[in-house]
Structure 1
Amino acid sequence: MSLTSTAALVTGAVEHGRAVAAVNVITLEHAEAIAEAATESGRSLVLQLSQNALAYHGTAVPLARAVHALAELAPVPLAIHLDHLTDRDLVRSAVDGPLRPLVGSLMVDAAHLTYAENVADTRAVADEAHAAGLWVEAELGYVGGKPDAPRSAHADGVRTDPDEAARFVAATGVDALAVAVGSSHAMTARVARLDHGLIARLAERVPVPLVLHGSSGVPDDELRRAVAAGIRKVNVGTALNVALTSSLRNSLTDDPTVSDPRRYLAPARTAMRDAVLHLLDLLEQP
């Protein structure tokens, strides 16, 4: 069995001044591509299942079981994480329901609420999750690109304040904090510019590892600088979707008569694997 925990991988990243890759799964092809990249590179990573991805499948357990099986079979240690949870039923499923044997960590997303509400909701989830042995991530500030709150990642007041972040972690007891430093979710172009000075100030003030969401839109040099400044978990999702859809378009254009999905899903899976390999190589660079 090669299953490990997000906590172990992030702790290792902190000890070595690096960042662990956390890659989103939507389909089985995503999961296979991610596991293949980890195996080929010999590097561990986190397989992430977001609330939206699980909702797409109608029920959470089948995809989670498939990802768990892939992680067990992989020759390198892989972790499984639930991302952007707002549904308390899904939290309960992870704490003491059918998802409990399948995942080792979760992210509670209450950043769209007021600060006081975010603290209260996050504390409640953290207490439940910690009692079940789960590692907990939360978010403070506004990371752009969320469909329910379409503000810019560069608007006034959306960045994570270091002093407030320190108070938030103390009040909630979370194990890691996703911070708003200029990235946005769902970016298909890699043009984001991060506030590296803010990342460094956050890393100095906040006693838990920092997480960067929306990393698909961050150029290589910006991502390297973010890790050097203190980011310890790097979340990527859209980059795989871009690779998948680009490959599908090419395959279907080249052969409009193709009907066997294996003919176009296989190269798409390879394209996603290559995207993950690039990320893993990048995070190994100083």
Structure 2
Amino acid sequence: MHLSPKIFFEHCYGKYAIAAVNVFTMEQVLGLFSAGARAKAPFIVQITPAARNYAHPAMLIAMINAASKIYPKAVYAVHMDHGNEEHAFDAIRSNDYTSIMIDASHDSFKDNVKRTKAVVEEAHKKNIFVEAELGVLSGVEDDLSIDEKYAKYTQPSEVQEFVELTECDSLAVAVGTSHGAYKFSGGSGIQFKILEEIQRRLPKFPIVLHGGSAVNLEEIARINRAGGSLNEGASGVSPKEIVKSIAYGVCKINIATDTRLLWTRVHREFFKDTPQLFDPVIPGKTYMAEYEKFMLEKFDLLGATGKVSDMNI
């Protein structure tokens, strides 16, 4: 069942969080829907501009629609992530998305408001939920690269004015997470004082954490043992911090890096352990099974398991 994140966030606020997962391939889509249906957990399927360029929006939406027929009990939203105006307006016209993000966070406050408001006005005509971003995250995700020295925490003093001026429906904030596999080089973690102040100024308003992957060090070690060369000092968001953030109004946790690391580990080990094989179906099946296992654990961590049964939909 394809729903709006608005329904999810009204139900989960302060109690549990929704996993929002970037997808590029059939294996990821099937693994995500299989896990969501099995766990009876609501989830958000995220499509980035890089994914749209890789697989074409029509192909991605077709895979998602097919997965919803294969797993009819899955309850989900489809979200266009980190888009500019071109991506946003195309998504609005398509009628395939219940949620979009306009990312003007690298602009000045004034320009961010202007660009976000223009997208919100068009999206709301079709009852499409709009996520905006205030503050700049460091790291690397898809074709987005931001040096850490340019990263800027969200200023709590700006959030209320920003939401009132733009009329956005949720807000992604920069509070210490980062994109990509090279996170928290300074070891500071989530800044809960900032989150607390944002919640005080925006009570009951859904907050989004980008860069929410954990970056399992065992996955990195296994990748490197199979021929990889990833930074073994990388770290993501600790599970304890993710769980703690829910009480501060964080309703949506974005996940991308962890599923990529999982893909890399499965395929590197396949080629290392069975160099005589070349059938993509073999590692593909392994990846789908590992992906489902990963997502089931993530739904448990976020407290989302079984929550579809409580939503009265």
Q: Do residues 203 (structure 1) and 202 (structure 2) align? A: no
Q: Do residues 13 (structure 1) and 32 (structure 2) align? A: no
Please state whether the residue corresponding to 1:84 is helix, strand or coil: strand
TM-score, scaled to structure 1: 0.91
C-alpha distance after superposition, 1:230-285 (max 9, x if no partner): 21111111111111110111111111121211011111122222221221110118
1:30-179 matches, within 5 Å, as 30-57=28-55, 59-74=56-71, 75-86=73-84, 88-96=85-93, 99-100=94-95, 102-146=96-140, 148-152=144-148, 158-179=152-173
Please state whether the residue corresponding to 1:126 is helix, strand or coil: helix
Identity rate of aligned residues, in percent? Answer: 29
Against the structure 1 CA distance between its residues 80 and 72, is the aligned structure 2 distance closer, same or farther, given a 3 Å change threshold? farther
Please state whether the residue corresponding to 1:234 is helix, strand or coil: strand
Q: Which position in structure 2 is the counterpart of 1:245?
A: 264
Deviation at 1:157, TM superposition (A): 7.1
Against the structure 1 CA distance between its residues 3 and 149, is the aligned structure 2 distance closer, same or farther, given a 3 Å change threshold? closer
Whichever residue aligns with residue 7 of structure 2, its letter is A
Whichever residue aligns with residue 6 of structure 1, its letter is P
C-alpha distance after superposition, 1:191-246 (max 9, x if no partner): 77111121111111125210000001211111111112221111111111111110
Please state whether the residue corresponding to 2:138 is helix, strand or coil: coil
Which residues of structure 1 form unaligned runs of 5+? none
Q: Do residues 226 (structure 1) and 245 (structure 2) align? A: yes
Against the structure 1 CA distance between its residues 3 and 192, is the aligned structure 2 distance closer, same or farther, given a 3 Å change threshold? farther
**How many residues in Structure 1 have an aligned counterpart in Structure 2?**
276
TM-score, scaled to structure 2: 0.83
The answer to whether the 8 A contact 1:123-1:171 is kept is: yes
The answer to whether the 8 A contact 1:186-1:214 is kept is: yes
Q: Do residues 215 (structure 1) and 182 (structure 2) align? A: no
The answer to whether the 8 A contact 1:50-1:84 is kept is: yes
The answer to whether the 8 A contact 2:136-2:150 is kept is: no
Q: 1:12 & 1:44 partners in 2: Cα distance? A: 11
Please state whether the residue corresponding to 1:258 is helix, strand or coil: coil
Q: 1:222 & 1:32 partners in 2: Cα distance? A: 29
The answer to whether the 8 A contact 2:138-2:151 is kept is: no
The answer to whether the 8 A contact 1:46-1:80 is kept is: yes
Whichever residue aligns with residue 18 of structure 2, its letter is V
Please state whether the residue corresponding to 1:83 is helix, strand or coil: strand
- Which protein, 1 or 2, shows the higher relative CO under an 8 Å CA cutoff with sep ≥ 6? 2
More displaced stretch, 169-178 vs 245-254: 245-254
